[in-house]
Amino acid sequence: MRYALVSVMMILAAGCGQQAAEPQHPGAQAVKPAAEPAAAPAATPGATGTVGGPTVAAAPTPAPATATLGQPAPDFTLNDTEGEPWKLSDHRGKTVVIEWFNPGCPFVKYAYGEGPLADMAKNAAKDDVVWVNVNSGASGKQGHGLEANREARERWAIAQPVLLDEDGAVGRSYEAKTTPAMYIVDKAGTLVYRGALDNAPLGRVEDDGAPLNYVTAALADLAAGRPVAISETVSYGCSVKY
């Protein structure tokens, strides 16, 4: 079964374009437990220098330039396919799912056609989860362009915004390597999951194991007030076309 799955994925990866990387198998990789968020710095004395002077809250920990589990997710602003700006920090207080997207990628086509992404964002929205897609494809590359992404939204009835990251700055900041690739930011703005959508590329689980949707599981953990049990996996799919 493993070799049949690898063969099918290699053939489909060829449809991802010349830059497509060999598909990776999240089910065959070790996953990491949730990282503990960094402790907030203690309050510091006021600048008056007098004994008993006022104290002020420490400045918020700035987001790192590169996304790091357990740390504040790097903030960003991108325009969507309708020309509207979308900023991550505007959604502080809500759980946010960031999905790397390429409408020309066979793995994305499967996920939206008959796979789990056909209705995941809609179902998550019922629980007040914000979902956004990011396309980091460069000009001239597979899946790039305003019209291609508008058409994909219409074809697959995608309700969430599709953001265009044409220079790839946001994708590189998050170290997004494949489409799809999934990231979850909790209500406090901390990155709590990154990696694969599930353990079933193209609907097939390696070695006939049990299917597991990592994103659904992580969202359930957050909704229940638990740490995310599986916080990192290896994403699979087409390479991001920077």
Least confident interval from 35-44, 65-74, 92-101: 35-44
Phi/psi at 168 (5° precision):
75, 10
Query: Does residue 162 lie within any of the structural domains?
Result: yes
Query: Does residue 55 lie within any of the structural domains?
Result: no
- 4-to-21, 22, 136, 237 alpha-carbon distances in Å: 18, 15, 31, 17
Phi/psi at 39 (5° precision):
-70, 140
3-state secondary structure of 62: coil
How much is the average pLDDT of 76-96? 98
Task: Print the domain residue range for 84.
Answer: 2-35+60-239
Query: Does residue 46 lie within any of the structural domains?
Result: no
Is 8:209 a contact under the CB 8 Å cutoff? Answer: no
Q: How many domains does the chain have?
A: 1
Tokens of residue 20, six digits:
């497509």
Query: Does residue 44 lie within any of the structural domains?
Result: no
Per-residue pLDDT of 170-210, as tens digits, reads 999 999 999 999 999 999 999 999 999 999 999 999 888 99
Per-residue pLDDT of 18-53, as tens digits, reads 443 344 444 434 455 544 444 433 333 333 333 344
**Which CATH number do you get for residue 84?**
3.40.30.10
Q: Are strands 130-135 and 96-100 parallel, antiparallel or unpaired?
A: parallel
Give the pLDDT score at 31.
52
pLDDT of residue 133 exceeding 80, the answer is: yes
Question: What is the longest distance spanned by two Cα atoms in the chain?
Answer: 74
3-state secondary structure of 238: strand
Query: Does residue 40 lie within any of the structural domains?
Result: no
Query: Does residue 191 lie within any of the structural domains?
Result: yes
Query: Does residue 66 lie within any of the structural domains?
Result: yes
Query: Does residue 42 lie within any of the structural domains?
Result: no
The full length of the chain comes to 242
